[in-house]
Amino acid sequence: MEEIRAYIESGVLELYVLGDMSAEEKLQVEAMAQKHPAIQAELSEIEIAMEMYADAQSVEPSPQLRDRVLNSLLTNLGDDRNLRTIQPRATAGERVVAMHPPATTSIFYKYAFAASVLLLCVSGLALSIMYKRLQNSEQQLVSLRLNEQKFTRQVSFLNEEIGVFRDPSFRFIQLKGMPKTPSSALTVAWSAKRKKVMVDLSSANLPAPGKDHQYQLWAIANGKPVDLGVFDKTTADSTDMKLMKSIDAAQAFAVTIEPRGGSVNPTTDQMVVLASL
Amino acid sequence: MPKNICLIYKLLSIILYIYTVLAKKHKLSLSEEELVLALQRHDKIGAEALYDMYSASLYGVIHRIVIDEATAEDVLQEVFVKIWHSAASYNTNKGRLFTWIVNIARNLAIDKIRSKDFKNQFKNQELENNVGYIDKHNSTEYKPELMGVRELVDKLRPEQKSILDLVYFKGYTHTEAADELGMPLGTIKTRLRMAIQQLRKHFN
């Protein structure tokens, strides 16, 4: 035992690991290590320490070097002389360790990767289809909302129109055509109490005023004409009853054709309809 | 719709690119037993694993000895060729695989710096300044288990460090080192042993 300890402490094992001895000395150390497990263990520890020392100071060579080195090995491999002379000596007694394909995990990752790429494609496609549908629905929603607004407006307007007929304070005045335009007619609804005047465009039958002219409604109050505003028959909007300026007292209503925008005083020879109360 | 397909296609190609980059980075690693067997059979995988597992360690040692990068690369290539062709002569009686290959690397590197060609080429480079130069280029990889090794090596008592470096990186035999330092052989051996024991203590 003492002998082994002295052998270990002599430093010869370190020299062996550092390669600092002759071939015979090496064989001696190897023989000693085979014989004494304690020496073998000490030797391994020294080797591991030196291996880690080298690892700690490792320097990554340039990436191109890998191909260069491997090519030089594998080219030589193609050489028949090299290939044949060096053969592993797997004799009957020797244990042959099966090579596990080291890439089993990486194959798993390959498949996992392929699967996830596929999944990504499918979900991307699904996403784009869903997005398309969402856009369609949103468009439909917008047009529905517009329709709804239109209907609400129409309903409230119709309510107002009906209100005119329900309200007993309204009078319906039929304006008759003048000698120049005998077939013309217009209905005006007037409530003195509410100071409201409306013309019924749906029943209006008036001569075309021309592009630069408009109809203007007048009331005659205390012998003087009062402007009640201008209107068009050709308006695109569906307002069949048009609210005019308010007035609480009138003896007559008349419509003249005036230049667009209206006049301060009625052009009497352009009067198309008239009604006295 | 075609816009979406185009987008998906772009995404796919980016992923493929990342994948190829990752695949390139993937390094082979075998157990020592498998590696030795693959080397002796001259399996391609053996060459690749050997390179991936040990090239950085070997290159670190070689670089430290020869300093010049192009020369270090040449030596590394020679080392692998030599390992490849003499793998049959290795057996586990000779200790760990790394001990065997690092000694091949050190011997080839030291032969290189002692060759006439090399001496002529690098006449005016002072070998003494080399350690600092390498250390600058050396700190690329982060290895938590090895943190503080440099500090440890610096902490080794100067006489231990200088002996270990003389033998390990300058290729001195212990007899030459004894002459160089003017010490008895026994002291050199003891100090080498103590230096390595410091390393062992650190790594355990």
Q: What is the pLDDT of residues B96-112, one digit of tens each?
A: 899 999 999 999 998 88
Residues A43 and A121 in one domain: no
A251 within some domain: yes
B59 touches chain A (CB under 8 A): yes
* Interface list for A 101-140 with B (CB within 8 A): 102, 106, 113, 117, 120-121, 124-125, 128, 131-132
| Residues A102-126, mean pLDDT to the nearest whole number | 84
Residue B196 host element (H or E): helix B185-203
Neighbouring CB atoms inside 10 A of B28's CB total 18
**Does pLDDT of B1 surpass 50?**
yes
Instruction: Tell me which chain B residue has its CA closest to the CA of residue A83.
Output: B42
What ipTM does this complex have? 0.73
Domain ends where: A144, A166, A188? A166
**Of the partner residues B58, B72, B93, the one whose CB lies closest to the CB of residue A34:** B93
Q: What is the pLDDT of residues B27-42, one digit of tens each?
A: 777 888 888 888 888 8
Residues A147 and A174 in one domain: no
For residue A35, give its domain range: 1-58
CA distance B101 to A86: 18
Contact B190, A6 (CB under 8 A): no
The two structure tokens encoding residue A181: 């335009």
Coil, strand or helix at A158: helix
A261 within some domain: yes
CB contact (8 A) between residue A51 and residue B40: no
CB contact (8 A) between residue B81 and residue A76: yes
CA distance A255 to A228: 10
The two structure tokens encoding residue B46: 């053996």
Q: CA A234, A236, A239, A240 torsion: positive or negative?
A: positive
A213 within some domain: yes
**Does pLDDT of A247 surpass 60?**
yes
A118 within some domain: yes
Residues A214 and A237 in one domain: yes
At residue A204 the predicted structure's pLDDT band, cuts being 50, 70 and 90, is confident
What domains, with CATH codes, occur in chain B?
A: 28-126 (1.10.1740.10), 142-204 (1.10.10.10)
Residues A158 and A187 in one domain: no
A88 within some domain: no
We report the CATH number of the domain holding residue A220 as 2.60.40
> Structural domain tally of chain A?
3
B107 touches chain A (CB under 8 A): yes
Residues A5 and A52 in one domain: yes
Instruction: Tell me which chain B residue has its CA closest to the CA of residue A17.
Output: B99
Coil, strand or helix at A188: strand
Q: What is the pLDDT of residues A47-94, one digit of tens each?
A: 998 888 888 888 888 888 888 888 888 875 554 444 444 445 555 555
Q: Which stretch of A176-185, B49-58, B104-113 has the lowest confidence by average pLDDT?
A: A176-185
Residues A159 and A174 in one domain: no
